[in-house]
Amino acid sequence: MPNRTGSFGSHRFRLIIKYLFIVCVVAIYISAMWQTETNPKAFIEGVPDLIDFVGLMFPPHVVDWNSPYFYKADTNITQLLWAAVETIQMAIMGTVLSVVFGFMLAMFAARNITPNVFIYQTTRTICDASRGISELVWALLFVAMVGLGPFTGVLALTVHNSGALGKYFSEAIEAIDVGVIESVESSGATRTQVFFHGIMPELRALFLSYILYYFEHNLRQATVLGVVGAGGIGIELLLSIRYFNFDTVLTILIIILAMVVVTDRLSGLIRKRLVGGEILVVA
């Protein structure tokens, strides 16, 4: 906090402000805990439930030869792996489409290459709105529109992440040197040419690292879209929980974790080579 010594900046006054601030923070936390029923009692009562639950999940279900449960009987590892492949496909498709739309949005949402303030503001608002609503909400809306299936999941990923990528791309474009853009523009280049010859070469590494980051993010989100019926391994998770097949749940969690960790590590490696470190983005 900046130190200001205004007319009221006496020592005692600042002390009072400080205590008031602390009291406010404590009050906020207490009301938050009260509202969410988060208290020591809930924690203590939760522990045996959690242990029970973990006990139900072990050992993970791999192949089931003669199961008494009817859902379990037709859940086998191949089916789960196919659902995992579908999840990866959704993440790929979602990333490709959101990169395309993200670039389109970014071209109009970067202040230094957009001629018109109105267009710029409108595009910004579109970016903020599509980004501000999370994938799962989009997925539920699209399920209501176009029905169940992986295509719905792709739509949800695309809409949310186009906004996010549009925002990050345009911020990157706004940060580059105006001279570069002007020199390309002065040679009579069109907007598209400015984009591909003036901006792309400058920001290629940064763009690629954002894209990789969003692929990781999309994969993680694609694993849950199935919970609302939008394809991928989430649907298996939903069914296994609904049918109380917690050993299958553990198998699914292991598959999800393996996919996510392998992708994270790979894209982390590539990103380190591209920009020499992590980038901080919030999805």
Partner 1 sequence: MPLPSSTPAPDQLFYLRASKRRKTQLRQALIVLAIALVTYWAAVGTETSIGRFIDGLYYGYDFLTRSLPPSFEEADRILPRLFETLAIALLGTTFGILLAFPLAIFASRNIVKNPLIYQSVRFVIDTFRGISEIVWAYLLVSAVGLGPFPGVLALTIHNAGALGKYFSETIESIDPGIMEAVAAPGSNQIKLFSRGIWPELKPLFINYMFFYFEASVRQATILGIVGAGGIGLEFIIAIKHFKYPVAMTIVFAMLLLVVVTDRTSAFVRGRLVGSDGAQ
Q: Which residues bind partner 1 (CB under 8 A)?
A: 1-2, 28-29, 31-33, 35-38, 42, 45-46, 49-50, 52-53, 85-86, 88-90, 92-93, 96-97, 128-129, 132-134, 136-137, 140-141, 144-146, 149-151, 153-155, 171, 220-221, 223-224, 227-228, 231, 234, 237-238, 241, 246, 249, 253, 256-257, 260-261, 264, 278-280, 282-283
Q: Output 76 or 89, the one with its CB closest to partner 1.
A: 89
Q: Output 97 or 274, the one with its CB closest to partner 1.
A: 97
CB of residue 66 to partner 1, shortest distance in Å:
25
Residues 6 or more apart in contact with residue 254 via CB below 8 angstroms: 60
Which residue type, as a one-letter code, is found at position 92? I
Q: Output 116 or 254, the one with its CB closest to partner 1.
A: 254
Angle between helix axes 77-109 and 234-242 (nearest 10 degrees) is: 130
CB of residue 274 to partner 1, shortest distance in Å:
14
Q: Output 185 or 274, the one with its CB closest to partner 1.
A: 274
User: Which helix (H) or strand (E) segment is 129 a member of?
Assistant: helix 117-132
Q: Decide if 61 contacts 72 (C-beta within 8 A).
A: yes
Which residue type, as a one-letter code, is found at position 118? F
Burial environment of residue 248 by CB neighbours within 10 A (0 to 12, 13 to 18, 19 or more): buried
CB of residue 64 to partner 1, shortest distance in Å:
20
CB of residue 115 to partner 1, shortest distance in Å:
25
> Which 3 state secondary structure label does DSSP give 57?
helix
User: Dihedrals φ, ψ of 7, to 5°?
Assistant: -70, -25
Q: Output 63 or 145, the one with its CB closest to partner 1.
A: 145
Cα–Cα distances (Å) from 242 to 34, 79, 140, in that order, read: 30, 17, 19
Q: CA–CA separation, 217 vs 219, rounded Å?
A: 5
CB of residue 190 to partner 1, shortest distance in Å:
22
CB of residue 106 to partner 1, shortest distance in Å:
16
Tokens of 130: 């599509």
Q: Output 31 or 193, the one with its CB closest to partner 1.
A: 31
Residues 6 or more apart in contact with residue 167 via CB below 8 angstroms: 109, 127, 128, 131
CB of residue 250 to partner 1, shortest distance in Å:
10
Q: Output 2 or 59, the one with its CB closest to partner 1.
A: 2
